[in-house]
Amino acid sequence: MDHNLQLEIVTPFGKTLSEEILSCVVPGVKGQFQVLKNHAPVISNISVGAIKVKNNEKSEIFIATSGGFCEVRDNSVKIVVESAEISDSIDVDRALKAKERAEDRLKSKAGEFDEVRARLALARAINRISVSKYTA
């Protein structure tokens, strides 16, 4: 089989995924973009969202990410993000509790309140819940 792209997704905790793929869709800060074989070199910031990977078996893998950056060069896609969770390994109960906590913080605005941090926590929780619904 003709090897198309090498994908590597890394977090501060180690590699989440490292494999040969056909394509991936990445949540860039200015919108999603797809990477295929022979893509032009690019470096892009990544926002909270889902990375969609089509592997060489033509099945799809969905990964929740909380942001970072992506480099595409010479049929290699390197993604470095704060967090990355494959859809079927997401702890949905934990994500629902995080969503509830963030919503409560935004409603109460009590004490030391960082609204930006609370909004980001809410976005990450909603993203994790959404991505958890996709299975390979």
**Which tokens in the block code for residue 105?**
């913080």
Q: What does the domain layout of the chain look like in residue ranges?
A: 5-87, 91-132
> Can you give the pTM of this predicted structure?
0.88
Query: What per-residue confidence (pLDDT) applies to 57?
Result: 78
Query: pLDDT digit of tens for each residue in the chain (136 aa)?
Result: 455 899 999 999 999 999 999 999 999 999 999 999 999 999 999 999 999 999 877 789 999 999 999 999 999 999 999 999 999 999 999 999 999 999 998 888 766 768 888 899 999 999 999 999 986 5
- Cβ neighbors of 121 (< 8 A, separation 6 or more) are 98, 101, 102, 105
Cα separation, 50 vs 33, whole angstroms: 11
- Cβ neighbors of 116 (< 8 A, separation 6 or more) are none
- Cβ neighbors of 81 (< 8 A, separation 6 or more) are 9, 10, 11, 46, 65, 66, 67, 68, 69
| 5-87 to CATH, choices 3.90.260.10, 3.40.190.10, 2.60.15.10, 3.30.565.10 | 2.60.15.10
- Cβ neighbors of 88 (< 8 A, separation 6 or more) are 132, 135, 136
Query: What per-residue confidence (pLDDT) applies to 4?
Result: 83
Count of C-beta atoms within a 10 Å radius of residue 98: 18
User: Does the domain made of 91-132 have the CATH classification 2.60.40.790?
Assistant: no
Query: What per-residue confidence (pLDDT) applies to 111?
Result: 65
